[in-house]
């Protein structure tokens, strides 16, 4: 009788242990099966913090299931967000500015990288256009409503060439180099890595003018205000990106190796522009001022309607960023 009783007790214990294990397993599986947070990112080194966060497991370590969806420009990333294909997107401040005239249902959560040498005017005959008077009647390929367009006009304003009769040819980012090589345009206003890729095809210096310091590009993390993400998830996301930027600063060579593998690009391509990038998480007044300046440029050039202009403070989620900063030391 005692032996039978002991067997019953053992059986109940095993059932209890199995139930606990099953409960734990279900909990883990529920976490693993939760729909991933989809983030649209440009397939360039500018997106390095996101790729590093994924490679190093920072998203998982901060309790997130993240899927990175690659596009070839910030314009397409924003479009994916607007069409609700993704939960968040990355794009330049110029893309943010243009879209603010069309809708205000999005927020900028943070900026994660800046560069003062990412955009360039490129030509197969750059020496011809180093005298900017020769831009008259040139066919210039640009990506509409992007940093490409603002950069071109910034140069024209800076060198007092806004009255030059130039022909703007709007193209997608992937069409810029083919159009130049096929003599469909004389110049392109392009971001990296297009400058590097072009030099690999023609093996000559294609820069029309030194543009370092003339324009500061930033890439920013954006969400729709109507989002399924909780504040906790967004804070964890900022933490993951911040961890990744720390890794980039403390392990620059390893970071470059990882990014060259993720993007399937030659390490020499990455080193070509790597030192131009400043990776850090911020939401600064400088970004706000830059967007304001670009907004006035767009209005003056009748690229947008002044009637649709907004107070850009409405699309900056300073409350979330300030909360992240206040919590950072306690993570």
Write down the pLDDT at residue 23: 43
Question: Is residue 248 within 8 Å of residue 237, measured between CB atoms?
Answer: no
Walking along the chain (331 residues) 10 residues at a time, the average pLDDT comes out as: 46 45 39 78 94 97 97 92 97 93 94 92 92 88 88 87 90 94 96 86 85 85 96 97 97 95 88 90 91 91 89 91 85 52
Answer whether 35-116+217-328 and 119-202 agree in fold. yes
pLDDT value at residue 14: 43
CA angle 229–94–183, rounded 5-degree value: 125
Secondary structure (3-state) at 189: strand
CA separation (Å) from 235 to 96, 322, 325? 21, 10, 10
Q: Which CATH class is domain 35-116+217-328?
A: alpha beta
List, in sequence order, every residue forming a beta bridge with 232; answer none if it has no partner. Answer: none
State how far the Cα of 107 lies from the Cα of 266, in Å rounded to an integer.
35
Tell me if 119 sits within 8 A of 189, measured CB to CB.
yes
Q: In the 3-class helix/strand/coil scheme, how is 260-298 assigned residue by residue?
A: HHHCCCCHHHHHHHHHHEEEEEECCHHHHHHHHHHHHHH
Domain residue spans of the chain:
35-116+217-328, 119-202
Q: Say what the pTM is.
A: 0.79
8 φ, ψ (degrees, to nearest 5)? -65, -45
CA distance readout (Å), 27 to 58, 304, 310: 20, 50, 45
CATH architecture of 119-202: 3-Layer(aba) Sandwich (3.40)
| pLDDT score, position 329 | 59
Considering only CA atoms, which of 104, 131, 93 is closest in space to residue 297?
93
Cβ(149)–Cβ(245) below 8 Å: no
| 35-70 burial code (b ≥16 CB/10 A, e <16) | eebbbbbbbbbbbbbbbbbbbbebbeebebebebbb
């Amino acid at each position: 009788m005692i032996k039978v009783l002991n067997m019953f007790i053992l059986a109940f214990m095993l059932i209890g242990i199995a139930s606990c294990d099953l409960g734990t397993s279900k909990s883990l599986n529920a976490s693993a099966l939760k729909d991933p947070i989809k983030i649209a990112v440009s397939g360039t080194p500018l997106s390095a913090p996101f790729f590093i966060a994924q490679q190093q497991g920072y998203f998982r370590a901060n309790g997130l299931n993240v899927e990175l969806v690659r596009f070839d420009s910030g314009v397409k990333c924003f479009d994916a967000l607007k069409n609700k294909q993704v939960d968040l997107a990355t794009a330049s401040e110029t893309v943010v500015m243009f879209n603010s005239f069309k809708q205000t249902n999005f927020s900028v959560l943070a900026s994660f990288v800046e560069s003062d040498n990412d955009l360039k005017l490129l030509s197969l005959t750059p020496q011809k256009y180093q005298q900017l008077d020769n831009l008259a009647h040139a066919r210039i390929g640009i990506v509409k409503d992007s940093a490409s367009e603002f950069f071109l006009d910034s140069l024209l304003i800076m060198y007092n060439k806004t009255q030059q009769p130039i022909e703007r040819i709007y193209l997608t980012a992937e069409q810029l180099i083919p159009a130049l090589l096929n003599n469909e345009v004389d110049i392109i206003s392009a971001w990296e890595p297009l400058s590097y890729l072009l030099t690999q095809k023609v093996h000559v210096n294609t820069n029309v003018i030194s543009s370092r310091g003339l324009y500061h590009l930033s890439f920013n993390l954006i969400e729709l205000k109507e989002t399924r993400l909780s504040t906790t998830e967004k804070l964890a996301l900022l933490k993951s990106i911040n961890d990744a930027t720390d890794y980039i600063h403390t392990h620059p060579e390893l970071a470059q190796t990882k990014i060259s593998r993720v993007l399937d690009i030659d390490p020499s391509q990455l080193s070509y522009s790597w030192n131009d990038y400043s990776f850090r998480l911020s939401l600064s007044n400088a970004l706000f001022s830059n967007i304001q300046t670009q907004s006035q440029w767009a209005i003056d050039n009748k690229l947008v309607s002044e009637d649709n202009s907004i107070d850009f403070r409405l699309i900056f989620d300073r409350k979330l960023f300030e909360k992240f900063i206040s919590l950072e030391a306690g993570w």
